[in-house]
Structure 1
Amino acid sequence: MGTPAPGFCRDCATSVGPNRSRCPACGSPRLLRHPELPELSIAHIDCDAFYASVEKRDRPELRDKPLIIGGGERGVVSTCCYIARTRGVRSAMPMGQARKLCPDAVVLPPDMAKYREASRAIRTFLDALTPLVEPLSLDEAFLDLSGTARLHHRTPAETLVRLAIAIEREVGVTISVGLSYNKFLAKVASDLRKPRGFAIIGRAEAPGFLAEQSVTLIWGVGKALAEKLSRDGISRIGQLQNMEESDLMRRYGAMGQRLYRFSRGEDRRVVEPEGAPKSVSVEHTFNSDHSDPEILAATLWTLAEDLARRLRHKDLAGQTVTLKLKTTDFQSRTRAEKLDSPTRLAQILYRTAHHLLLREATGPAFRLIGIGVSDLHPAEAADPPDLVDTERDRARRTEAALDQLRDKFGTKVIGKGRAHKAPR
């Protein structure tokens, strides 16, 4: 072991010498040290049990009690505090099951206005540090602090220590921070020591750290792909590190490239500020109102094809599909469904939106129909192999071939039969 590196106190931001085990100013043992500390600038911050933390901030009598934020008996858990988590309660768990696991829990309905206000307060702190903030939700975001040392007169690591202290003091919630040299590893790091965590993954340690982890740590490896990898004898990232990129791409398509790069700690994605696209959508306004499910479905198919083609041209994929309808009296209806994995295939977009359409096309006429996707991902994450949906590979090849024809001869050169009923 080498000599410990100097660092900072995470409770008061005081500089700490290499041989100290506690902060000389406040006595805290929560010290931050790492040999690559001055060189790392990509961060992921994640609020700890955000909704529950805001409620406990406003109701101190709940501080030491298990707290669940969620609906009634037939609802699900939105989030829960860490006391409830020690009893086995988890987000998205049915409320009935959560109550059985933690019968003494206090249950509160979500107060989204309050949570958005806290999120805006946190965002103010982030924007003061760097213009490169990529929010992922109300309670988490990526930051690129490259080049900010000259502005703030401190390293990104020290800036983040001070950020965590300020948010806890001024907003009343705690955050966990992950710091690394790319987004993938920063996100991994922020999950390592929650709550009130600050974890660092440097370049030197990344391959060794990743080698011992499950392949499910890689963003985009869902249940279906994990099962396929397991069938191929691959369960640990270290096994991927010993494989060639061409072999992985031959086996797993575009996702194989992600497996190759991420397993080696490589991630070329940059932190995208809020101006980056958050959704892609298309819509069609009828010349006359329609209530016929077949006409609506046919139009939806042509829109799904258009949307899929736009996603492929933008090198994007979407994981949440939204159906939009507008009635004759201009009332809008939107219905959404989240997929297991991102897609840019018209067949999957249509199938998902058509399922939503069947619930709505029960009588009223519509003057507009649209389809869109949000929760955008890079193209490499699109349509991983699926053991259940065996037609996915065929659809991918078919739609790629159609793209080539349409690019050469025009968008109307060829189409599927289900589009023939669509109004012109």
Structure 2
Amino acid sequence: MASDLDKPRGFSIIGRAEAVAFLAPKPVGMIPGIGQAGVARLAQAGFRSIGDLAAAEVETLYRTIGKDGPRLRNLARGIDPRQVTVEHEAKTVSTETTLDVDLAAFEELEPILWRLCEKTSKRLKAQELAGRTITLKLKTHDFHIVTRATRLPEPTQLAARLFAAGRDLLKRECTGLRYRLIGIGASDFSDPADADRGDLADTQTPRLKAVEGALDAVRARFGDAAIGKGLSLRDRRRPASSETTSSNRSPAEDPDA
């Protein structure tokens, strides 16, 4: 929660002494792990804020949401004994950003998605991973998490292929809701040697791979800002936490843009 407060440029710490007061007025949907169904069920029982959960009797929560009730009550009180561990095999490689301004229009979110795909692609290549399942993550203005996934016919490391899959998922979710966070990730990993090979019916993927390889070589020598695709420059005036730019055609449609 603290990491979401002042993105993209801020830094926040929630101290133990102030945790309860800080959490109390926030909606229950801010607690990690509570989805839309859980929010609706808690609201029906009268629990709309985190403070409502913190003040609830354990027995009441058992009746409302079952065995998970005591854990959520502890989280609402700022109590979480779990240790943070970072040494584990990667299950997902992803990049996400919280926006300075909530956005609803596909045209505004599309260039941000492209920049995230570039960063996720860079991480996949650095970790020598290729993912087959592509997942789009969105957080609405009222903190509801939306995830949508699609499975590719072969694994990929390419930003253009991540973007093509994520763009289709994003377009379906741009129905008027305002989003404060967007992310893209890859999972279901394979050996990079099996990725982006194409076949007789898919001659574009090897071409995309060659183009991205050339771009990567330029960036490795001269820096990430040395070269980029047009979409990443769309509407730099938009105050969002990702870089943005302008192109009439997306990289998925025109890999040489």
Q: TM-score range by the shorter chain?
A: 0.5 to 0.7
Aligned to 1:412: 225
Q: 2:205 aligns with which of 388, 392, 399?
A: 392
Q: 2:155 aligns with which of 342, 354, 357?
A: 342
| Residue 315 (str. 1) matches residue 128 (str. 2) | yes
Once the two structures are TM-superposed, the CA of residue 322 in structure 1 deviates from its matched residue by 0.1
| Residue 284 (str. 1) matches residue 103 (str. 2) | no
Kindly report which structure 2 residues correspond to 1:179-194, keeping only aligned pairs within 5 A, or say none.
Answer: none
Once the two structures are TM-superposed, the CA of residue 421 in structure 1 deviates from its matched residue by 2.0
Aligned to 1:265: none
Identity %: 45
SS class of match (2:224): coil
Distance in 1 (CA, whole Å) between partners of 2:110 and 2:202 is 22
Return the index of the structure with the highest Cα Rg. 1
Write out per-residue CA displacement over residues 336-380 of structure 1, whole angstroms, 9 at most, x where no aligned residue: 001111001111110001110111011111111100011011211
Gaps of 5+ in 2: 1-86, 244-257
Once the two structures are TM-superposed, the CA of residue 396 in structure 1 deviates from its matched residue by 0.5
- Higher RCO by CA contacts (8 Å cutoff, separation 6 or greater): 2
SS class of match (1:412): helix
Once the two structures are TM-superposed, the CA of residue 312 in structure 1 deviates from its matched residue by 1.1
Aligned to 2:118: 305
Q: 2:139 aligns with which of 313, 326, 333?
A: 326
Distance in 1 (CA, whole Å) between partners of 2:132 and 2:150 is 9
Distance in 2 (CA, whole Å) between partners of 1:306 and 1:386 is 27
Aligned to 1:91: none
Q: Contact (CA 8 Å) 2:137, 2:183: kept in 1 or not?
A: yes
Write out per-residue CA displacement over residues 32-90 of structure 1, whole angstroms, 9 at most, x where no aligned residue: xxxxxxxxxxxxxxxxxxxxxxxxxxxxxxxxxxxxxxxxxxxxxxxxxxxxxxxxxxx
The RMSD of aligned alpha carbons is: 1.5
Aligned to 2:36: none
Once the two structures are TM-superposed, the CA of residue 405 in structure 1 deviates from its matched residue by 1.4
Once the two structures are TM-superposed, the CA of residue 323 in structure 1 deviates from its matched residue by 0.2
Q: 1:358 aligns with which of 148, 168, 171?
A: 171
- The residue type paired with residue 328 of structure 1 is H
Q: Contact (CA 8 Å) 2:137, 2:148: kept in 1 or not?
A: yes
Distance in 1 (CA, whole Å) between partners of 2:138 and 2:120 is 16
- The residue type paired with residue 204 of structure 2 is E
| Residue 296 (str. 1) matches residue 93 (str. 2) | no
Q: Contact (CA 8 Å) 1:319, 1:373: kept in 2 or not?
A: yes
- The residue type paired with residue 159 of structure 2 is A
Once the two structures are TM-superposed, the CA of residue 293 in structure 1 deviates from its matched residue by 0.8
- The residue type paired with residue 354 of structure 1 is R
Q: TM-score, normalised by structure 1?
A: 0.35
Once the two structures are TM-superposed, the CA of residue 384 in structure 1 deviates from its matched residue by 2.0
SS class of match (1:358): helix
- The residue type paired with residue 157 of structure 2 is R
Q: TM-score, normalised by structure 2?
A: 0.56
Kindly report which structure 2 residues correspond to 1:91-170, keeping only aligned pairs within 5 A, or say none.
Answer: none
Distance in 2 (CA, whole Å) between partners of 1:341 and 1:387 is 14
Once the two structures are TM-superposed, the CA of residue 275 in structure 1 deviates from its matched residue by 2.7
| Residue 379 (str. 1) matches residue 192 (str. 2) | yes
Alignment size in residue pairs = 151
